[in-house]
Amino acid sequence: MKFYFLAALTFLTLLYLYPGPRLDIATVPQRQDVLGYDRALFGSWQPHGQCTTREAVRLAQSTQASVLNCRVTGGTFYDPYSDQAVSNSEAVEVDHVFPLSAAWDMGAHNWDRSKRARFANDPLNLVATQRSLNQQKSDSLPSEWLPPKKRCAYSTRLAEIARAYELSLPTADVSVMRRQCRFEFLLPG
């Protein structure tokens, strides 16, 4: 009986102490609306080989893609937000994981145009997803929106982007992100 009690106690201790993925990022009390945001300040889709970054992301997340002049016109896309395959290429958009307007509010307003364009075209910050999910998300951070699936992976990626570009996140968003990953080690694959 003692063995089972000790095993259960050890398991509960591990659940409580498990640190989860690395979400150590700078925080601020809340997101401030910084005047002057305009999508054009982040530039357009940059060349990525012979295609644009947008089409390169769509191509990277597709299988059996139909491509015409670097434009993905068909195929099946893996959507990490829904964890589903999407077969309608017209229903797929490229999302900025760390929304551009949120980045503006969190520090990108101080960047030069070159760094903003690099951020907007960084494959780390881009994901092909269903148009409906992209529109639901809009410019929201995790306290306002989370994907229906793979929430820990989304939170971890957002934290990685924030660290890479030295962007802060509001405390409420980081708290939500940490909750998504709390028991991730228990989930299969």
Q: What is the DSSP string of 69-98?
A: TTEEEEEEEEETTTTEEE--GGGEEEEESS
158, part of any domain: yes
169, part of any domain: yes
Stated pTM of the model:
0.86
7, part of any domain: no
130, part of any domain: yes
CA–CA–CA angle 105, 110, 40 (5° rounding): 70
State the residue range of the domain holding 135: 20-32+42-186
Q: What domain count does the chain have?
A: 1
Q: pLDDT tens digits for 120-159?
A: 999 999 999 999 999 999 999 999 999 999 999 999 999 9
- The tokens describing 78, both together, are 């893996």
Q: pLDDT tens digits for 34-86?
A: 999 999 999 999 998 889 999 999 999 998 888 888 888 888 999 999 999 99
68, part of any domain: yes
CA 71 to each of CA 49, 54, 85, 94: distance values in angstroms, whole numbers, following the listed order:
13, 9, 19, 13
CA distance 25 to 17: 19
Tell me the H-state helices in 18-93.
53-60
